[in-house]
Amino acid sequence: MKLHSFQHYSHGLETVVHDTWITARVKSALTLADTTLGLNVHVKTHAGTVALSGRVNTHRQCEQAVAVARSVPGVVNIDASELLTHVFTPGHPPEAPNAEDTPERRSDDK
């Protein structure tokens, strides 16, 4: 019984070490590809699935981050659902597309 328990524990430990190795390799590859990606993209790995999160400036950088992560050996799947792009120009307040300068007013007249 103890041998089975040890084997189960060592397999779990092996998975954690492997995931940590993948996370480090993906983070390193992102930094080498583009310093901005290395700084703004957060990486977590669970059972070979890499989760990318954070904010980048363009959709092209999102695609680049996914491509770089996919190129790392050992990556099984990529979840980039939490990787977002800025929708505003740096130094300016965020604004919805086609937003008008004046607020919409509704009259209660019917």
pLDDT digits (tens, 9 = 90+) for 25-82: 999 999 999 998 999 999 999 999 999 999 998 899 999 999 999 999 999 999 999 9
* DSSP three-state, residue 77: strand
d(CA 42, CA 23): 9
Q: Is the whole-model pTM more than 0.75?
A: no
Residue 48 corresponds to which tokens in the numbers above? 């070979």
Q: What is the DSSP string of 21-76?
A: HHHHHHHHHHHHH-HHHHHHEEEEEETTEEEEEEEES-HHHHHHHHHHHHTSTT--
pLDDT of residue 97: 46
